A = this chain, B = another copy of it.
């Protein structure tokens, strides 16, 4: 039987192990689900980020959307300076839109659909305009084929605006 004096040490080992796992889970990548091609993950705390703009998608999506940005992204928008600097991250939240129960002329968010992330890293993502993309449903990234459309679509439509559709709402 192990001596009693060993128990505090075992406790310390357990604590270190827990802290170790937590730091990996919270880290960039680690055990967070990452997108194919780009390895982009859903950033912590994005739900508190500043609003860039809301949007509404008609058929076939029928979605309410809102794009939020981290401080680096918002700073670039406010300064009107493109391209976005490395570190800028944009997240688009999306929901099926539904008729408001108490206000018939309004469409409001229903069930969440996708979370879409754009991360600026001009070296890591040099082949895709400096942006890495992640498209998540229920917290899980969608397949590689869907991710292949992200940059191609932006390159054909909004290359001159650093591949970003959403403008800062006034």
Complex CA gap A14/B108 in Å reads 51
Q: Is A4 an interface residue (CB 8 A)?
A: no
Taking a contact as CB atoms under 8 Å apart, the answer to whether B48 and A56 are in contact is no
Q: How far is the CB of A80 from chain B (nearest CB, A)?
A: 16
Of A15-23, A116-124, A128-136, A161-169, the one touching chain B: A161-169
Q: How far is the CB of A164 from chain B (nearest CB, A)?
A: 10
Taking a contact as CB atoms under 8 Å apart, the answer to whether B112 and A170 are in contact is yes
Of A25-33, A82-90, A96-104, A144-152, the one touching chain B: A96-104
Complex CA gap A169/B100 in Å reads 12
As for how many copies of this chain the complex holds, the number is: 2
Q: Which residue of B lies closest to A167 (CB)?
A: B108
Taking a contact as CB atoms under 8 Å apart, the answer to whether B165 and A53 are in contact is no
Q: Which residue of B lies closest to A157 (CB)?
A: B102
Q: Which of B50, B56, B57, B58 is in CB contact (< 8 Å) with A47? A: B50
Taking a contact as CB atoms under 8 Å apart, the answer to whether A107 and B55 are in contact is yes
Question: A54, A65, A102, A107 — which one has the most chain B CB atoms within 10 A of its CB?
Answer: A54
Taking a contact as CB atoms under 8 Å apart, the answer to whether A50 and B48 are in contact is yes
Taking a contact as CB atoms under 8 Å apart, the answer to whether A57 and B106 are in contact is yes
Interface residues of A in 58-100 (CB under 8 A from B): 58-59, 61, 64-66, 68, 93, 95, 97, 100
Question: What are 17 of the A-B contact pairs (CB < 8 Å)?
Answer: A47-B50, A51-B51, A51-B66, A51-B93, A54-B66, A55-B100, A55-B107, A57-B105, A64-B169, A66-B66, A95-B170, A102-B157, A102-B165, A103-B157, A108-B167, A109-B169, A112-B169
